[in-house]
Amino acid sequence: MDNFFSDNPDILWHFEHLELDEIIANAEDDFAQASRFDDAPASAADAREGYRAVLDMLGAIAAQEIAPLAAEVDLEGAHFEHGKVSYARGTQRALDILSRTSLMGFTLPREYGGLNMPGVLYTMATEIVSQADASLMNLFGLQDIAETIREFASEEQKARYLPKFASGEVTGAMILTEPDAGSDLQAVRLKAVAQPDGAWKLYGVKRFITNGCGDVSLVLARTEDGSTDGRGLSMLLCEKCPELVVRRIEHKLGIHGSPTCELQFNGVPAELVGQRRMGLIRYVMSLMNGARVAIAAQSIGIAQAAYEEALKYARERAQFKKRIIEFPQVYDMLARMKSSLLAARAITYEASRLVDLRRVYEHRMAKAPGEDVRAGLKEISAFAGVLTPIAKAYASEMCNQVAYDAIQIHGGTGFMRDFNVERLARDARITSIYEGTTQLQVIGALPGVTSGTLGRFLDALAAGAIPAGLSELAALCGEARAHLARALTHLKTADDKTYLDYTARPLIDMASEALAAHLFLRQAVRDAGRALHAEKYIRDAMPRIRMRAEIVTSGDRLTIEKHAELM
Ligand SMILES: Cc1cc2nc3c(=O)[nH]c(=O)nc-3n(C[C@H](O)[C@H](O)[C@H](O)COP(=O)(O)OP(=O)(O)OC[C@H]3O[C@@H](n4cnc5c(N)ncnc54)[C@H](O)[C@@H]3O)c2cc1C
């Protein structure tokens, strides 16, 4: 591929079919920005052409300039010497290119030097960068920090920092995790002490912080003395300074280009972002939700790269006097890899589009609140709230499976460092761990599935006329909805919290596959050219959906009751 955007038919299909008009009009203040900024579009069509040009440029840079550096970056890794972190040479070069081409402020408003693009296009961009070098995405993806400042910081803070993020002059870090507070961020202990002048100082230790050496960081810290849960946590902003010490960087399995730091805060000067006590409950949840969509996109990028490598190898490699791609077990693996990759992309772009749509409703609420706008905002927020963890869980697990299969298709060669799939499988492994493990995404998706929110979303996707040729697939989607409803009825009737937690994974896996099936069906309804991929996915998914429904409705409590003896 010479261009990771324009040479990828699936991304292009989504780009051309995304329902963006409302989102564009909202971002462009109904195109009033055109009178203030030379580069602002005058219409939705104009905006789309601009987005296409940006993604096309990024796609070319990613394929031709960043991807060739990835193996070298993996070998060299980030450096830590005399307390200072520096990037691998290839990482620095790639960052310089992205800054020079103004690609570090995708979603930031124009007044701060950003491109003012909808989040879903940033999601595409994240995927494109990740396909080239997954570890670079961890730095490119720090735009989420700027986005959080844009959403919650004061006007003065925004003016101070956002132009620097947009130009690439500064990089950031999202500093949440501590040795005893990983999945459970309510346990965060890092202490923020109020100073007489209204400023704050931070004391404590954080670990596993991507780019903890960054210039501007958002830190989750305990501002309320004596508190022990999330309500005592606030979000603070600090800059790189002598009191903020990088103790070490981690030696990791993958994403070697991305420095992962352990940090010691020795009275680091900091300032509050937004309101006290809202750090975890509001701001970090928002930051992490953005980052979860970004990790879903990173997963898709890695999987795309692994799939391309596997396809190429299977076409070239011969055994038993045949190309291995001609063996049914091999082409079946490749077809499944591609199908699950397309499913993850469909779910992730939909989740990202819903987050954009939520912003449209938030603006409407601010401008002209009304009962229908309020109801719309509530519904869209609920949809975004359930699709986001599903996207992260589905895409990251898919990515690991695709990378695993890509090595399998390479045989022994895939186990060797000389081949890209070895690096891709190592890079893939982190995606289902950071920004909340798959288990935590399952917990995050559970309320939206058990409350019936996802069911309503599926009903909406299934509504409308179905062309005759798709009636069988539509019937299978109907069957998937019925299995989901049956599972939920069983869980409600059982009213057993432990059983619900125990069956949460098969329930969410079933819900995720039902969602993907419906998104494929909708694609096929809109474009007959998508029908084959829809058929492949839905036919493959149905037996798994039936099996998971059986697990959830079995009422089998053996492992719950005997787990101590079974382990
Ligand atoms: C390379 C890398 C980069 C990172 N970057 C950042 C960063 O930039 N900023 C930041 O703040 N953090 C970062 N992290 C931290 C990351 O988000 C955490 O590692 C992750 O959230 C998991 O926390 P933990 O490692 O403490 O695992 P634990 O929370 O100890 O989890 C261990 C296991 O228990 C399971 N588990 C825990 N609770 C439950 C539950 N209630 N139900 C079911 N299972 C459960 C988990 O799924 C997991 O399998 C990074 C981590 C890595 C490895």
Q: Please state which CATH number belongs to domain 452-566.
A: 1.20.120
Q: How many Å apart are CA 341 and CA 300, to the nearest integer? A: 7
Cα dihedral 542, 548, 549, 550 sign = positive
Per-residue pLDDT averaged across 324-350, rounded?
98
Q: Residue with the nearest Cα to atom 11 of ligand 1?
A: 176
Per-residue pLDDT averaged across 385-413, rounded?
98
Is 1.10.8.60 the CATH number for 172-277?
Answer: no
Percent residues over pLDDT 70 in the chain:
100
Per-residue pLDDT averaged across 20-44, rounded?
95
Q: Which residues pair with 234 in a beta bridge?
A: 221
Q: What pLDDT sits at residue 516?
A: 98
Per-residue pLDDT tens for 450-502? 999 999 999 999 998 999 999 999 999 999 999 999 999 999 999 999 999 99
Q: How many CB atoms lie within 10 A of CB 416?
A: 11
Per-residue pLDDT tens for 342-379? 999 999 999 999 999 999 999 999 999 999 999 999 99
In degrees and rounded to multiples of 5, residue 201 shows phi and psi of: -130, 140
Does residue 174 have its Cβ closer than 6 Å to ligand 1?
yes
Q: What pLDDT sits at residue 63?
A: 98
Q: Please state which CATH number belongs to domain 1-170.
A: 1.10.540.10
Separation of CA 443 and ligand 1 centre (Å) = 14
Per-residue pLDDT tens for 84-102? 999 999 999 999 999 999 9
Kindly give the number of the ligand 1 atom that is closest to the alpha carbon of 438: 47
* CATH 1.10.540.10-classified regions of the chain: 1-170
* CATH 2.40.110.10-classified regions of the chain: 172-277
Separation of CA 183 and ligand 1 centre (Å) = 5
Asked if 435 is an active-site residue, the reply is yes
Q: How many Å apart are CA 489 and CA 505, to the nearest integer? A: 17
| Least reliable range by pLDDT among 185-189, 287-291, 390-394 | 287-291
Is 1.20.140.10 the CATH number for 279-446?
Answer: yes
Per-residue pLDDT tens for 143-186? 889 999 999 999 999 999 999 999 999 999 999 999 999 999 99
Does residue 5 have its Cβ closer than 6 Å to ligand 1?
no
Return the H-helix or E-strand segment holding 260.
Answer: strand 260-273
Kindly give the number of the ligand 1 atom that is closest to the alpha carbon of 177: 11
Q: What pLDDT sits at residue 461?
A: 97
Kindly give the number of the ligand 1 atom that is closest to the alpha carbon of 437: 47
* CATH 1.20.140.10-classified regions of the chain: 279-446
Q: Is 528 exposed, middle or buried (0-12, 13-18, 19+ CB in 10 A)?
A: exposed
Tell me which of 435, 479, 550, 565 is the catalytic residue: 435
Closest CA to 85 of 250, 269, 265, 253: 250
Q: Residue with the nearest Cα to atom 24 of ligand 1?
A: 182
